[in-house]
Chains A and B, each alone.
Chain A
């Protein structure tokens, strides 16, 4: 599907046409079976919206003043770069990789195996406009610091899930990591140190490459002769990025596959948890055979601060159920009951399906399903297919039954209402501003042509004006953010104290009433709620400050047209851009000791003697346990959001500066202005980022 092309795109389209006459690259992945395996049709509306916007922008850019044209180019670039991400999470061997392969429409793409192979976070960048010859891949290796961070900043699923021995897991992960590093060092020799922190990039994307970097080999499978190169780098690879052309897809989409939690090789779990930090939209994959175990619950708790509409639960492998028709409703009821009982996001959508069926539909190998799976499929089909569906192509029917189309819809809907809606809103505001600036520019041009003595400010005056405005507005914003930040910290502090006072009072009461032999528990939900509300207050305050700053900036630029350009009442009313959204506070999902009803807490309790010792240690414990959570909340959430708000202000001012400066300088050759505008914008963003350390 082709959207309205820019110049660059037109070239490409031309290429495409010449290429169409020639035989396709033999290495090119097979075109997915056109429409029937299309699961993201739910993104069509968003794609159409983006197309319309792109058309609008192209129209504005066409023959526009160079400064406007440059801004148009930037915006169209943003549209093209739009790439919502969906992260697949779940336990090891839940079938994530098979599912991802089916979602991509290429069953053999990522190696899915009977043993856990995925050890790397793999991002599949699916792009409708990417030609097979443009497919590429990049593999990034761990650095020593990143390995350390893997341990120190890892989440604690084990504890959340009350997994046995959870208290000793960190030491175990460390030992496994050391062993793995030593093994890699032996295998890779001197290259080992050199490789760390590097990225290997390729102008291709082949299964052999993926195997070499992504798959842990079967080192226990000695007869395997072809495994020499396989998994050569897998245990030092941190992430893999694959760019794949997918012509059917309405918009770009990134699917992130993770190794999964609860593997005995616990580094996989740490890698998965670390990948969750940036995740906005998650698909939690469960295995129908054992839906929602305590480890799954631990993982759900970890992401429970993701807005629940951004969590989709996919119960995979229903093909392995003996009687899916009877069992699926039971499983669903059981999942819902458990979610309710544990106060987890109950409104999360729950879907059922089978990546295995989807894979066979795509491969057209239904005869290979195996007897049990085929039988389950037939039963499921009888119950699931409405009469209207009869007589459809069998592959299409199986595809439908695999649950993948429903999963695609769920994902599409969330993107359309989330990241997609934000992109559209943002671009609309920018487009409207461009139209207004353009109109103003046209007014000025007519004045100049008509010989009306136009009063154009000198470039250096404009530069000075923008510098002053930027400094002042940023200082204002910073002051307000700093105040909000201080209030946030003191709220957090108060939350701590309030919680501690209440909990200690309860503890003392318990000790008086029951003595020390009876183990006391106290629910830390209150503390979480206090911390969450502190964060929300901060987000609101920062958003207000940001809105005020952007509003003021827009007004002052309008004023600039009015006064400096002498446009008076004809001056354009520049609109402020929408605010960026704040990340959900995932850190709050981390366990604190009070969550732990198991051995850890018992051990803590039994070790202490005397009321005072217990109370003191308890206070210290709460502090030590919550400090890292608060720190993450401060750094990853609060400060990141403040930085995003600042970047928005700087970006907006830079764009406007490019346009205004360009309009003022009628004599500027187009090329130069164009570069100025986009460079100014980029510099400003870089500067903003440098200042905020993101």
Chain B
């Protein structure tokens, strides 16, 4: 499948990949600042979902390449049997800098093994999610080794679910082991606690502690480099210079919805989330990836 101009902007394409239930959708929601992606404990048989910047809308691309509108609340009606890809348009700031595609999880016995083969050539950077509790198994390693070297060199391994590893020492040991086994296969290995970050999405301190700030920084560097390389005009929002407007820790649910005077709330340094429009990810929605 190739992405037609109609569905693709010229922005860099970031792909979320990994085995099913590795945290891809949680990470998508975190990056987008909205619970746009369906999250489930079991394997979700959903075709690739492309997120791009624009007025809120959703449509699906049928197997024959034709498109039709889709009810965003009913993404499940678009199964891989009938749908090549789902496209979701949202005004998330993250999408100003790049397009994001959430790939179907690998190692799902109910999905053909090569659903993502055809999309991969268009991808500029992969965020491969691997859960800390069972990090980096052969079924992942073998797939990743088949990805072309230039793409691997621009891609990040995100060790998710770090919050399930209870001590600092153990977290470090898992990370060291993973770093050792993927030596040279990724640009970088980054630990992340996605759920705690999602629960407190606008608390910079939490974002720092959960590793999400570092992840976004690193991603921004990659995207910037990529964008520069393609002489893209689309840049990351220059919000980095803005002072952080919120510093006190607070749970999302408790946070007052921002009014007119506070349109821009700053996510760590470079990626801005629009507080007014964002439907905040709730705990239930982010139940499990």
**Residues of chain A having any CB pair with chain B under 8 Å:** 91-94, 114-115, 158, 161-166, 169, 218, 220-221, 262-264, 266, 269, 287-297, 317, 320-323, 326-327, 330-331, 333-334, 338, 341-342, 370, 372, 598
Contact = CB atoms under 8 A, between A and B. Distances in A.
Contacts of B181: 264
A264 B41 contact: no
A291 B139 contact: no
Interface centre among A263, A294, A341 (most CB of B within 10 A): A294
B137 A91 contact: yes
B147 to A, nearest CB: 10
A287 B134 CA distance: 9
B110 A263 contact: no
Given A220-B177, A220-B180, A264-B181, A331 B41 contact: yes
Interface stretch (B84-92, B164-172, B253-261): B164-172
A288 B20 contact: no
A297 B109 contact: yes
B25 interface: no
A94 B141 contact: no
Given A289-B21, A327-B287, A342-B109, A115 B131 contact: no
Given A321-B288, A330-B42, A218 B138 contact: no
Given A264-B138, A326-B287, A330-B42, 11 more contacts: A115-B173, A162-B113, A163-B138, A163-B142, A164-B142, A290-B20, A293-B139, A295-B107, A295-B138, A323-B288, A334-B43
Interface in B260-289: 283-284, 286-288
B19 interface: yes
B186 interface: no
13 contacts: A93-B135, A161-B107, A165-B142, A287-B133, A289-B41, A290-B131, A293-B19, A296-B109, A320-B133, A322-B283, A323-B284, A333-B42, A334-B43
A249 to B, nearest CB: 31
A289 B39 CA distance: 12
A218 B166 contact: no
A607 B138 CA distance: 27
A522 to B, nearest CB: 18
A320 B164 contact: yes
A562 B166 CA distance: 76
A165 B146 CA distance: 8
A269 B173 CA distance: 22
A477 to B, nearest CB: 45
Contacts of B132: 114
B20 A293 contact: yes
Given A290-B20, A320-B164, A330-B42, A114 B174 contact: yes
Contact of A93 (B19, B110, B134): B134
A304 to B, nearest CB: 14
A163 B113 CA distance: 8
A598 B41 contact: no
Contact of A262 (B131, B137, B146): B137
Given A114-B174, A221-B176, A289 B134 contact: yes
A173 B156 CA distance: 27
Contacts of A289: 21, 41, 131, 133-134, 161, 288
Interface centre among A93, A263, A290 (most CB of B within 10 A): A290
B41 A161 contact: no
Given A293-B20, A293-B107, A323-B287, A330 B41 contact: yes
Contacts of A297: 109
B139 A294 contact: yes
Interface centre among B109, B138, B163, B164 (most CB of A within 10 A): B138
A293 B142 contact: no
B38 to A, nearest CB: 13
A555 to B, nearest CB: 55
A263 B288 CA distance: 24
Interface string B20-49: 111000000000000000001111000000
A264 B288 contact: no
Interface string B34-69: 000000111100000000000000000000000000
Nearest to A268: B138
Contact of A338 (B22, B109, B113): B109
Given A158-B138, A320-B164, A294 B108 contact: yes
A370 B109 CA distance: 33
A132 to B, nearest CB: 31
A538 to B, nearest CB: 33
Contacts of B107: 161, 290, 293-295
B131 A292 contact: no
B113 A598 contact: yes
Contacts of B173: 114-115, 218, 221
Interface centre among B134, B165, B173 (most CB of A within 10 A): B134
B3 interface: no
Contacts of A91: 134, 137
Interface of A is mostly: loop
B94 interface: no
Nearest to B22: A290
Contact of B134 (A94, A166, A322, A334): A94
Contacts of B170: 114
A92 B22 CA distance: 16
Contacts of B223: none
B280 to A, nearest CB: 17
B1 interface: no
B145 interface: yes
A297 B131 CA distance: 20
B41 A166 contact: no
Contacts of B212: none
Contacts of B283: 322
Given A115-B174, A338-B110, A161 B133 contact: no
Nearest to A370: B166
B187 to A, nearest CB: 19
A221 B174 CA distance: 10
B164 to A, nearest CB: 5
Interface string B121-157: 0000000000111111111011101100000000000
A456 B135 CA distance: 75
A290 B20 CA distance: 7
Contacts of B75: none
Interface centre among B22, B110, B142 (most CB of A within 10 A): B142
Contacts of A114: 132-133, 165, 170, 173-174
Contacts of B41: 288-289, 321, 327, 330-331
Interface in B181-204: 181, 195
A161 B163 contact: no
B74 to A, nearest CB: 18
A352 to B, nearest CB: 12
Shortest 9 CB-CB contacts between residues of A and residues of B: A334-B42, A165-B142, A164-B142, A327-B41, A293-B107, A93-B134, A164-B143, A294-B109, A290-B21
A264 B145 CA distance: 12
B265 to A, nearest CB: 26
A161 B106 CA distance: 12
A269 B138 contact: yes
B137 A263 contact: yes
Contact of A290 (B19, B163, B166, B286): B19
Given A220-B177, A295-B107, A164 B134 contact: no
A220 B176 contact: yes
Contacts of B137: 91-93, 262-264, 295
B177 A290 contact: no
A341 B43 CA distance: 15
Nearest to B165: A114
Contacts of A370: 166
B172 to A, nearest CB: 9
A287 B133 CA distance: 10
Contact of B133 (A93, A164, A218): A93
A660 to B, nearest CB: 60
B109 A292 contact: yes
Given A220-B177, A320-B133, A266 B138 contact: yes
A163 to B, nearest CB: 5
